[in-house]
Chain A
């Protein structure tokens, strides 16, 4: 299965959350490949803590592959190459976790027939090889989004299950922006239909992920004043209402990730060690990520509302 991770704006935690989902699936025994299609600012190497391996594969990344400079994009075996103390010892029985990095110097580029062909070949090859392929796309309506929309519309990819996660923060602007990224005039759905996607099918393959959501019920906020607490509940309710009027209400949401300092500041994978031993990350975050990871392939969450 292919998972495309998109977001309306930067700073939604798209990269770090989707990387965590890839990690959870690999822990559960799936062979997972993570592609950094964020051509403007590739960050995946930092998230997986593979800076040295990244150096060694410099200029042989996805960008160089798509424009035809190298025959195959570099692969980094995360378990083997990470400098992260916990990731280096994956539990027995977990699946492969492979990172295909972007290029440090690679910017955006227009989609030509040749790099579209390469993109389709790459996605198909990985689809045959991995249980789950996570593609992290640049923010907004970028060339990366256009390219994969075009690629997945090709007849040879018609048998491939591709799903979209749209990450947005839990604020008024972000809710509106995420809705417009998907349903707007120049949005993903319209762009997909232009390229030959079936509108119903494409809509059915898109779900939203609310990131950095403060939960008013969380013990984190138990010390705030009653006025603050009432205001938080009210705002949260208003946002839900707003999301629903924008067409990204409850039935379109795959899950939420709570506001988590470790995700916000460290931008790295959250391991069970962070939750259980050092306890710098919240149990709720781990559970939310684990739930989301499970729902990626659970058809129940992808049925048309």
Chain B
């Protein structure tokens, strides 16, 4: 990103957080409505692609920050600069917001005028040398009070969008939002990007570490993480719905009712790497190998379809006429 402004790209680390949730709207938004929703800035367009899935990406907005960076070992590093945030809407149904920034290995010991930070959007400069390992671990652990909190920036963008007048503020079913925190360490240009440690932790938090060649923009990494977060949300949500007793224990038309939202709103959303930068597309293979995202999804969808089929066999008329 800095390269676009004639500055050498010299970040060593990028950190980000993605939040994924269901859009609070009963009807899914079409391309035009999605454009309206995601027009965060008047001077830039919302990017919408219709194939293979409807996907809209907002322009980027900047948040100025001057605060301590989270570190795992308590080292106090002050960072000044700007954090990029953006939002995406998939199939008019799943809303995501991301906040991210890059950090160089070292920065000046003096705070410079804002103008100089603004010409490097998405770059946060440390005062002095950056303890890279501690900063990466700190970013994954999350911010404490007074530290740079990407979750807060992403969440406030999400909250702003969910308040949009375009939405009827109703959800077709209840679901939990998820958070994915990621860090990307920079590796020399030309090397192959890699992914390590995709971890699920409690409370809907996921963490992930990437190695990102210098010639791949951070925005591409953010896009990959959004894509992973979206599919992880789908798995988590559908799994929770299936685990719920009301599907395990009940029978009859209520099964159809309980599974109805999955079939109508979610099953068609599975489309891995549809909008991922080609330089990073192969990282999906890692997750397909282990834990096997698509395998799990196929299994879940099969369970749902089988369950509905059984229901249809048992009660051909009643079950289907209730919907």
Write the residues of chain A forming the contact surface with B, with a CB cutoff of 8 angstroms: 29, 31, 69-72, 75, 77, 80, 92-95, 121, 124-125, 128-131, 156, 159-160
Given contacts A128-B175, A131-B174, A156-B163, contact A72 B151 (CB under 8 A): yes
Q: Please name all residues of chain B whose beta carbon is closer than 8 Å to the beta carbon of A130 when the two chains form the complex.
A: 174
Is the Cβ of B245 less than 8 Å from the Cβ of A71? no
Write the residues of chain B forming the contact surface with A, with a CB cutoff of 8 angstroms: 21-22, 24, 145, 149, 151-152, 155-156, 159, 162-163, 168-171, 174-177, 202-203, 244-246, 248-249
When chains A and B are docked, how far (Å) is the Cα of A94 from the Cα of B202?
18
When chains A and B are docked, how far (Å) is the Cα of A128 from the Cα of B167?
13
Given contacts A93-B249, A121-B159, contact A159 B174 (CB under 8 A): no
Q: Which of B21, B162, B244 contacts A93, CB < 8 Å? A: B244
When chains A and B are docked, how far (Å) is the Cα of A128 from the Cα of B152?
19
Give the 5 A-B residue pairs with the shortest CB-CB distance, closest first.
Answer: A93-B245, A71-B152, A29-B245, A121-B159, A128-B171
Given contacts A72-B151, A80-B202, contact A129 B175 (CB under 8 A): yes
When chains A and B are docked, how far (Å) is the Cα of A31 from the Cα of B175?
10
Is the Cβ of B151 less than 8 Å from the Cβ of A129? no
Is the Cβ of A71 less than 8 Å from the Cβ of B149? yes
Is the Cβ of A72 less than 8 Å from the Cβ of B155? yes
Is the Cβ of A128 less than 8 Å from the Cβ of B151? no
When chains A and B are docked, how far (Å) is the Cα of A159 from the Cα of B162?
14
Is the Cβ of A71 less than 8 Å from the Cβ of B174? no
Q: Which of B22, B155, B175, B203 contacts A75, CB < 8 Å? A: B203
When chains A and B are docked, how far (Å) is the Cα of A77 from the Cα of B21?
20
When chains A and B are docked, how far (Å) is the Cα of A29 from the Cα of B245?
6
When chains A and B are docked, how far (Å) is the Cα of A37 from the Cα of B61?
34
Given contacts A93-B249, A121-B159, A130-B174, contact A29 B244 (CB under 8 A): yes
Q: Please name all residues of chain B whose beta carbon is closer than 8 Å to the beta carbon of A128 when the two chains form the complex.
A: 21-22, 24, 171, 174-175
Can you spell out 26 A-B residue pairs with CB atoms less than 8 angstroms apart? A29-B245, A29-B246, A70-B145, A71-B151, A72-B155, A75-B203, A77-B202, A80-B202, A92-B245, A92-B248, A93-B248, A95-B244, A121-B159, A121-B162, A121-B163, A125-B159, A125-B177, A128-B171, A128-B175, A129-B174, A129-B177, A131-B174, A156-B163, A159-B168, A159-B170, A160-B169
